[in-house]
Amino acid sequence: MARVVISSALPIDVRPWLGDADVVAPSCGSLSRDALLAAVEDADALICLLTDRIDEELCARAPRLRIVANHAVGLDNVDVQACTRHGKLVTNTPGVLTEATADLTMALILSVARRVTEGDRLVRSGGWRGWDPGLLLGAAVSGQVLGIIGLGRIGRAVARRARGFEMRILCAGRSRAPEDLEQSLGATRVPLPQLLAESDFVSVHCPLTRETRGMLGEHELSLMKRTAFLINTARGACVDEDALARALEKGTIAGAGLDVFADEPRVPERLIAQPRAVLLPHVGSATSQARARMAELCATAVASVLRGERPVHLVNPEAWSSGDWR
């Protein structure tokens, strides 16, 4: 009987997709690193989270493992090359969390600009003294310039929403949408320094890779307008958090909306101390619908591989062609 390890309790029960497989999963919370390493020793399939490190050590401990189904679109937690070397297929969950993450990006844009969380704190603290024409003046969103770094699926979904706010859209980054698509989104491709200098909101939507780690550092942040906001719903490590904290402290940018951090769940005290930063606990895809679809995609990928079929959203086709996964 095939053994499927799920590293964490998922919001939906995926057993119906897994037939008669023996499913090993915690009833709540997540397996520790050591428990995960022990569990994969005799596993045929693994469904893991973005918080699990899938590396050489894990691959070496899991001789029977045929598939790593990552319950995320980002793959920065998975050493795909190591998986390929060890003959393990890797899948992710693109598409199903695009709209949820784009919605949250807009929520952060609106929150930082219109000081939503500051207003909420004021009301709850009992400190609100009544309507005041100067109270919590924020920044306009409609008609402003939005700079999107990474016009992939999520970046494009953000651009579609921003058009409803009549924003002018600039884009930069490696993932290059076909020109007609950029045109239909009303997005103008510019070099990154120009995007940083002209945008009222800079929103990060690229994957975390060797190239994008620390991509927005001291110099890049210094190019932004004093009135501009940085939004990050991608990966925390794309931004140098010390440099961001300094920019917020010195007021060289107006604020930041962050759903992701470099060393989660640790959030730098200097960011917590910033009233103009809105900080969320990595909930970009956290709608019941998106999370259910993510779990379903992982389970159906595992079921395909256990039947000997190629899974959808396979990210290392070379591992499939080599046949070593069998």
Which sequence positions are flagged as catalytic? 235, 264, 282
In the complex, minimum distance from the CB of residue 294 to ligand GLV, in angstroms, rounded to a whole number? 7
- How many angstroms separate the CA atoms of 214 and 218, rounded? 10
Tell whether residue 285 is a contact of ligand GLV (CB under 6 A): yes
Closer CB to ligand GLV, residue 87 or residue 284? 284
With CB under 6 A, what is the number of residues at the site for ligand GLV?
Answer: 7
Q: Which of 97, 230, 280, 295 binds ligand GLV (CB under 6 A)?
A: 97
Structure tokens at 126: 């009992």
The set of residues, in sequence order, having a beta carbon less than 8 Å from that of 290 and lying 6+ positions away, is 96, 97, 99, 100
- Closest separation between CB of residue 32 and ligand GLV, Å? 21
State the nearest-atom distance from the C-beta of 3 to ligand GLV, in Å: 25
Structure letter (DSSP) for residue 11:
S
Q: Does 90 contact ligand GLV by CB under 6 A?
A: no
Measured from the CB atom, the residue of 115 and 205 that comes closer to ligand GLV is 205
Residue 124: φ, ψ to 5°: -65, -30
Cβ proximity to ligand GLV, 144 vs 300, nearer residue: 300
Q: In what order do the strands lie in the sheet with 145-149?
A: 187-189, 168-172, 145-149, 201-204, 229-232, 255-258, 277-279
Q: Name which position in 155, 236, 257, 284 contacts ligand GLV (CB under 6 A).
A: 284
C-alpha distance from residue 186 to each of 105, 163, 219, 240 (Å):
18, 8, 28, 30
CB of 249 to ligand GLV, least distance (A): 27
- Nearer Cβ to ligand GLV (46/254): 46
Kindly tell me the sign of the dihedral angle through the C-alpha atoms of 182, 71, 283, 241.
Answer: negative
> Residue type at 12?
I
CA distance 216 to 204: 9
Closest approach, Cβ 48 to ligand GLV, in A, equals 12
Comparison of 115 and 235: residue with beta carbon closer to ligand GLV: 235
Nearer to ligand GLV, 72 or 90 (CB): 72
For residues 50-79, which are near ligand GLV according to CB under 6 A?
50, 72-74
Q: How far is the CB of 247 from ligand GLV (least distance, A)?
A: 24
CA distance 7 to 33: 9
- In 175-291, at which residue ranges do the beta strands (DSSP E only) sit? 187-189, 201-204, 229-232, 255-258, 277-279
Extended beta strands in the chain, E state = 3-6, 22-24, 45-48, 67-70, 89-91, 145-149, 168-172, 187-189, 201-204, 229-232, 255-258, 277-279
Q: How far apart are CA 35 and CA 52, in angstroms?
A: 11
Summarize as ranges the residues that interact with ligand GLV (CB under 6 A): 50, 72-74, 97, 284-285
